[in-house]
Amino acid sequence: MPSPKRILVTGGAGFLGSHLTEALLKEGHAVFVVDNLWTGRKENLEPLRKEYGERLTFLCQDVREMDFCQEVQEIYNLACPASPPAYQQDPLATTLTCVQGALKVLELADRWHARVLQASTSEVYGDALQHPQNEEYWGNVNPHGPRSCYDEGKRVAESLFFDYRRTRGTAIKVARIFNSYGPQMDPQDGRVVSNFILQALRQEPITLYGDGSQTRSFCYCQDTIRGLMALMATPEEFTGPVNIGNPGEYTIRELAEKILALTGSASPLVYRPLPVDDPKKRRPDISLARQALPWEPRLSLDQGLPPTVHYFQSLLSNSPCPTP
């Protein structure tokens, strides 16, 4: 068990943030969560507050303007909506959250000589022309499209992290997260896994965009969290960026068919036009993560979908959620 630390998690009431907070508390650390609840949910933290008491501190603040005076040894910056419907709802706020939030956590890390991890994204690769994507690929991103507030915001955040490293010696880590899923996803999140599961459970048509042949790689939330924590624990000279994702690649239609089979749903598949700049292929090359962290995912999509479906079933039935 590692020595207890004081750790700040921005966006810690969100889907991945709450899973990370739980994992850090289980290791004995004191965790400060800063979240403005834009897409985070305070109920994600309530069981942790009851179990871990004063070792969990929640501050309802916007990362762009947070007033945080506690000394910490590590900072995880997860503060930003991650689903297209959420970040496109207020694109200006999304860009500013990426940029001003990065500056805020970097200033704190510089002040306390803390390690700071930026939760970046596979979206920095855009509609990739290289497949699979490794960390040396610079991406194919539309700088002024409807997704650019998130894509370019995260690219600027990465730039700021490396500028702080070069000019101030800040101990940075940059993770590029590929599609994560699992329990505690917001049912209003708008991402493909939660959308398909809810539509199937409600016997509603399952909405596919394009012809369903575009591909994604899906990483179960607990695997993603292990990857982030493994990256934080690497020697200071290793900064990343490093891909954190599952290299299993599936078409969107295959995902829909797996969910239909799991739920026993009779929902039909319906097709809608593909959104602007929606990537055609997405799959991480995780050679660097395997070598440097070392880390790789443990759960396949077939193993991770059942507890995710059970979670959404419990939400719809208002019954306690089973432990995955």
Q: Which residues partner with 216 through β-bridges?
A: 250
In this structure, the number of other CB atoms found within 10 A of the CB of residue 215 comes to 17
Nearest to 124, CA basis, from 112, 113, 111, 133:
133
CB 55 within 8 A of CB 29: yes
User: Which residue among the candidates 76, 125, 150, 181 is catalytic per the annotation?
Assistant: 150
CB 150 within 8 A of CB 278: no
Radius of gyration of the chain (CA): 19
User: What SS3 state is found at 216?
Assistant: strand
* Those residues with Cβ within 8 angstroms of residue 267's Cβ, 6 or more apart along the chain or in another chain: 199, 200, 203, 204, 205, 206, 260
CB 31 within 8 A of CB 72: no
C-alpha span between 20 and 222 (Å, rounded): 8
- The vertex-40 CA angle with 54 and 162, nearest 5°, equals 90
CB 244 within 8 A of CB 177: yes
* Those residues with Cβ within 8 angstroms of residue 114's Cβ, 6 or more apart along the chain or in another chain: 72, 73, 74, 75, 108, 171
130 burial level (CB within 10 Å; 0-12, 13-18, 19+): middle
C-alpha span between 310 and 280 (Å, rounded): 29
137 is an active site residue: no
Lookup: tokens for 271: 């097709």
C-alpha span between 248 and 43 (Å, rounded): 32
Which residues are annotated as catalytic? Answer: 150
